[in-house]
Structure 1
């Protein structure tokens, strides 16, 4: 399954090296012979070097013509032939070296192209387990027919489309939808090929052959999308559209007016587009080198050029603008139950489960410094959860049993899960539901800032395609300020949407899953989140972000635009100087050999200018003082610690609204103690230490003024809650007249703190060079 865009083959590098050596060696040999006084031998050496370059140059011209383009190589061919015709052999040898050197640099960029979409095929199963009566046999995929009963073992990829027969199947559909959370399919429900069995063994009835299945369709889509992608029009070829006819006109006019063929050849020699053949590739290769240093692997110079002029960004949601893996957002406990103990026993049971939600719960417990126990009698039921014994209690984490009624204390938890599009893992102890863990796939902390940077870099249309439901997709789109969002998209839908955008604009597509591979191949520039994303998406992409950070795309776009600007500048200045030299040569003041040497001087100047791309543009220096970065990391870590405590504000408010009794008052006292002893000192330290340190990098204290106003509001609401607490203590309970205002303060403070934390994390903490942020 070869992608037509990846034309680089290893032997191309060998041919380029041989050509470069084959032109440099005769030039040097001729210079040695000339210094030794053997002019005829020097001419033969230089002529040989010229001839060596003519054949490949002619082939490049023919290849361009076949693609419907006339490239700058045509001028080089004419000048090479012309120097032989008028016996200006040194000029020909110099042009040959410049020509082979330019293409060697261009080949160095192309060498970044690697394998094709082979990972799609590698992941696909080759065999399946087919049951006939009581016998299960392993058969090749092409032997599967519609109606066959297939047995899917744990960890296996479903080989074809079908329907579940008699059990609950827990499936990882991320390869198709990009969503990280497992889904359940019960008897009679459909299952698609390419998904992973994340639970126990189940049986299914095939409804399609392997060739007609969903996964096979994805492979075909990726192949077709790659084949339909138009070849990249390089910078040099775009300039050749006007430079070539102008050169021929000047050379022709010179010959017509003077009758001297030498003058015409001299014009062609100084017009040899080495600023295009050398300077532009040098700038682009410099950009490739700089990109690789920040964790952005660009496959070829054409991709970097296109990235530099892109106007539309299409992106997947899961794993691209979201983290791609669930995290715990809240641990709710029944009245009288200890939240930390519940999380400890739940994680102790879950640590033996490979389930993605179990992994998130264990990670949360360890992050809080909770020491886990070794659970015994652990068993896992697909689609239901994990059960084990801890501290003499029978603990189950997962779904509630069908016979279990959701307790009254959990109704607010269910509402929050529904409103926040969160998953719930119930913690049941001795058959009594005592806790619930809410989990979400969070927005990447740096995503909003990155998308703002991308808009500043020239992207004027941002589109999100996702296989997720419309509700969470619209929520993400609102936060990020996207222009359009399309939910419940299949891989085919994504390809069609990307093709529509690419037909009208230079389009960048960002994704991280196998389901994104066809869309990446269909875009002008495909970008894969490669650190955790699938191999297939990385192979289909033109650019791979190896650090798994979307903000690196903004950095790469800055580099691409800067490199392209330097390339255009070098080429423009070089061609302007060449035009001036052409006029001088046309009037007979510049013979071919001297013209070739002058052209070499122009080449050196523009190449030195092109090397400026290695340093990066003005936007490249985003560094912060070390002490400021340390402050950012310190306060980011404090945010992580206090995130869970923020949820208690809403929990205590719910409890007071439901029953303002002595237990609710005790909970309020604990919450107020957190506000006074932990939260307010944190906010005060930010105000006096962090914000002044950020004033310089952000251009003044006004950049943090709105955050300072938020600190004042947090202080006001905390003081007001403290006043309510004192009144309640004095009266021995809550006065009905104060409950409404107290609830407004608690809910209001919760909302202000959530927004304030997110704003600081997105605007300030992402400035620190810390991968965790």
Structure 2
């Protein structure tokens, strides 16, 4: 019989037998009373005895041996009611263990049980249901609405709407366009779509997740194995105390009472339940932990090492600004650059096209395209010859370009230069941006006791330092090859428990070398995921801090459950040995202790109550992000003018300043007033403290003041440029640019802290 049916059946029989015996005794039928109580005790003895024998055959001494001794001794001394109560205690313990372990690993089971076993294969116009193992890369499959995506692949023709909540915990469906890569395990919540398979079933994202989930269910953490050993030590201790109590008092019932209260359920049940609860709670947050040993190691982490690209940063080129070198306007320069960039698949070219589309710049059709891989491309746009790429590719060098490169060098940015009709016209500046959550994640990790956070990078030291300063890491190691990262990780492991976080194929050796390897995003390189002990299914660095918090709390709860439970058990044994706790009362006391420590262990499934705040919800968070995104062009225009105002001619300076002030009045000021009057009062309920946004409100007032000063300077410049010192305007632009950029970054961090999905 399956355990899911056996344990409840045994519990029902034991309870029924106890009640039947009590009823028979009330009607004066003592022989039936004894028969009921002895029958239930013998039944539990038989089932438990078989399991103990099987354990002994596998060279494992089970602590259920104490329960067997308790029932046998009770029957020997004709304590049939005690034997029946112990039988109920044993049956309820088995049922409670099964129920709590099932609840603790519920999230892991969901991951495993929803794994698809077949796919709808498309061959011409025919549609055939085939086992996943028969589908090979290159073939096309149809994913119908409501189905789990069975294999990794690329969307063909149409887009798709996908629910990844089972993988990442993120409740908002994700939109994918044609050509996008979609990972297995997500659910199609939109129209049916066609997928071109890229990996076999065993190599897919979800197959790897299922393997890790199954390993987590089977594993035993070192803490759990230690608890097993301590439980075994209790057997001779129990027998010794029982023997001494019998010898001193001459009363065998004292020895029986000692044995009855000695069952080490706090060890054999509470500890593994707490560890498994922690793993399950991690899975609910989009964090897949390979096994209990990994969870325990995460709780003991002393040193953290982070890869730079794709881990601390987004891993994607982002356009910072468009710099002009001559009379060409910014919009025209972006137009010709983006029009030409459409012909390339280079990441920077794609970023340029995206920037133009975001700015509302319409694109032309390039012709006569010629591309040199890794260097640049050229062609015709509206009849003009346009070149886009490095200075070496363009074959030109000017004082303007030299000054720009010098500035970008210490800012950790890069540039693609543009030449129009053979003349250098400007450049598009780009960089790999720090993740919004990186600084907050590093700060939270340090607050949890991690002694040192180190960033490992293959980039130049100047570029790496730019990111490190923003993230707040303690040490930077730059210009590292993959083998250098391995050596750095090994050196750290020699000093203490070390965690390494990375996302790319080149990170796999370092992840494998660390005590705990963490792979960012299951959609990333499979090599990194296979080498890791923990995989972040959602691409967010703050999940590392969440994993540490969950791991430390789970291990703390397991430890306190063990110590409190065993302490109470030892106290009950001593009281029983002294003769103050008879066997029947001892059985009841032990059951209360067992239930108490197991319920305490289940606390690891839930977040700490005292830290719980209302959840903001997905829709408001999306709106907050959209509001900031709408202000991107305003911030970029302010930043650009703050950087070049003193270099502009008088007429151009007046025009640009007038345009900026108009933009600030029309967009920035209404945005900040709306934040102050509507958004901030709304957010107070979701933050700690009486007035948690007071400092942000002060920044609003300073922004309003600076814009007002800038408006007056603009009016004076328009009336008589001789009265206004351009240095004064330039200084005011720099102050406003710095303050607004800092303010938006602070708001982004606050919004990110409210994302408790």
TM-score (norm. length: structure 2): 0.72
Conserved in 2, the CA contact under 8 Å of 1:331 and 1:435?
yes
Instruction: Name the SS for the 2:321 alignment partner.
Output: strand
User: Which residue number in structure 1 is paired with residue 295 of structure 2?
Assistant: 304
Q: Distance in 1 between matches of 2:620 and 2:95?
A: 52
1:730 and 2:716 correspond: no
Distance 1:372 1:659 in 2: 27
C-alpha distance in 2 between matches for 1:620 and 1:300: 27
Residue in structure 2 matching 1:641, options 614, 630, 642: 630
Residue 663 of structure 1, CA deviation: 2.2
The question of whether the paired residues in 2 share the 8 Å contact of 1:112 and 1:299 is answered with no
Gaps in structure 2 of 5+ consecutive residues? 21-31, 77-82, 113-218
Report the counterpart of residue 203 of structure 1 in structure 2: none
Quote the RMSD (CA, aligned, Å). Answer: 4.0
Cα pair distance change 1:378/1:289, threshold 3 Å: same
Residues 521, 19 of structure 1: alpha-carbon distance in 2 compared, 3 angstrom cutoff: farther
Secondary structure at the counterpart of residue 692 of structure 2: helix
Which residue is equivalent to 2:530? 539
Whether 2:646 is the aligned partner of 1:667: answer no
Partner of 1:430: 421
Q: CA deviation at 1:234?
A: 1.0
How many angstroms apart in 2 are the aligned matches of 1:620 and 1:61? 46
Q: 1:466 to 1:618 in 2, by over 3 A?
A: farther
CA distance in 1, matches of 2:716, 2:673: 26
Q: Which moved more, 1:585-594 or 1:398-407?
A: 585-594
- The answer to whether the Cα contact below 8 Å between 2:11 and 2:91 also exists between their aligned partners in 1 is no
Q: Report the Cα offset of residue 444 of structure 1.
A: 0.8
Pairing partner for 1:703 from 692, 698, 720: 692
CA offsets 1:158-185 (integer angstroms, 9 cap, x no match): xxxxxxxxxxxxxxxxxxxxxxxxxxxx
Alignment partner of 1:760 is 2:747? yes
Q: By how many angstroms is 1:19 displaced?
A: 7.3
CA distance in 2, matches of 1:38, 1:683: 78
What's the CA shift for 1:324?
A: 1.7
Mark the CA change 1:689 to 1:632 in structure 2 (over 3 Å): closer, same or farther.
farther
User: Is the 2:394–2:419 contact (alpha carbons within 8 Å) kept by the matching residues of 1?
Assistant: no
Distance in 1 of aligned mates of 2:326 and 2:305 = 47
Q: Distance in 2 between matches of 1:39 and 1:639?
A: 72
Bigger shift: residues 363-372 or 680-689: 363-372
| Distance in 2, Cα, partners of 1:22 & 1:272 | 21
Residues 585 and 489 from structure 1, CA distance in 2 versus in 1: closer, same or farther, beyond 3 angstroms? farther
Question: What aligned pairs does 1:170-181 form with structure 2 within 5 A after superposition?
Answer: none
Contact 1:105/1:281, CA 8 A, preserved across alignment: no
User: Would the aligned equivalents of 2:412 and 2:466 in 1 still touch at CA under 8 Å?
Assistant: no
| Other-structure match for 2:679 | 690
Aligned counterpart, 2:318: 327
1:677 corresponds to which of 636, 644, 666? 666
Task: Compute the displacement of 1:606 (Å).
Answer: 2.6
Report SS of the residue matched to 2:310: coil
- Listed one character per residue, the Cα deviations across residues 217-248 of structure 1 (whole Å, up to 9, x for unaligned) are xxxxxxxxxxxxx9942157259659738646
Give me the whole-angstrom Cα distance separating, in 1, the residues matched to 2:565 and 2:607.
21
Q: How far does the alpha carbon of each residue in 1:320-375 deviate from its partner, in whole angstroms, 9 at most, with x for none?
A: 22112221111223443233343344334333433222222233233334444444
**2:261 partner SS:** helix
Deviation digits for residues 592-636 of structure 1 (CA, Å, limit 9, x no counterpart): 68755643343223323333333321366343456xx76665454
Task: Tell me if structure 2 keeps the 8 A contact 1:657–1:743.
Answer: yes
How far the C-alpha of 1:401 sits from its partner, in A, is 5.0
Tell me the CA shift for residue 759 of structure 1.
Answer: 1.8
Shift of 1:274: 0.9
Deviations 1:194-224 (A, max 9, x none): xxxxxxxxxxxxxxxxxxxxxxxxxxxxxxx
CA distance in 1, matches of 2:97, 2:13: 21
Within 5 Å, which residues of 2 pair with 1:118-517? 232-235=221-224, 237=226, 241=230, 244=234, 247=238, 250-258=241-249, 263-264=254-255, 266-400=257-391, 402=393, 404-407=395-398, 409-517=400-508
Instruction: Please tell me whether the aligned partners of residues 371 and 378 of structure 2 are also in contact (alpha carbons under 8 angstroms).
Output: yes
How many residues get paired?
Answer: 627
Distance 1:655 1:312, change over 3 A: closer
- Other-structure match for 1:224: none
